[in-house]
Amino acid sequence: MTDATIEHGESVDEERRDFIHIATVAAAGVGAAAVAIPVVAQMLPAADTKAASSLEVDISKVPVGGEIRVLIGGKPFFVRHRTAAEIAAAEAVDVGTLPEPETDEERLRPTPSGEFNKAILVTSGACTHLGCVPVGPGGGNLGDYGGWYCPCHGSHYDTSGRIRKGPAPSNLPIPDYRYVSESVISISL
């Protein structure tokens, strides 16, 4: 025991004093955590907000050569069921000639079996120039590469959603999506 003697003959138990200091600091830390956890938790998105930021899409309902457009959190997305000719056109492109080089396969996500479903392409539905919504195959004005065309300022995208011509600086972004099953995908913001 390390006792110190004070002027008036009283002794101080230094081990006890150190224990009291450590216990006080630990209690203050636990109290701070008890306050901080609910404060931080209330800043996280609510369950309804999380639900509104993702969507499951049954891709078996999209006809070959067709496309559906979905809104998630107010943002448009395209889910296209490409034809064999559209897939062949996307794969035949010399990637080195593209403003933003990406192969067609790099723009796909694997199915639960680990294979790529080349027929299904999911992209953002906002032009990378100023955010207009391009028209797609079957939408009338196809543009020069059989894919999407933005009538606002003339950007042309191919059948893989890659920028080919016009003022858009980059390809149509691929959203965060995954295959839930072979016929259902989940798209998230």
DSSP letters spanning 4-24: EE-TTS-EEEHHHHHHHHHHH
> Position 10: which residue type?
E
* Contacting residues for 8 by C-beta, under 8 A, at least 6 apart: none
Residue of 105, 108, 85, 86 whose CA lies nearest to 95: 105
Residue of 147, 135, 140, 139 whose CA lies nearest to 171: 147
Q: Which of 8, 81, 129, 153 is catalytic?
A: 153
Calpha distance 183→83 (Å, rounded): 17
* Contacting residues for 153 by C-beta, under 8 A, at least 6 apart: 127, 129, 130, 132, 166, 167, 168
The most distant pair of C-alpha atoms in the chain lies apart, rounded to whole Å, by 100
Known catalytic residue at 81: no
Q: Which of the residues are catalytic?
A: 153
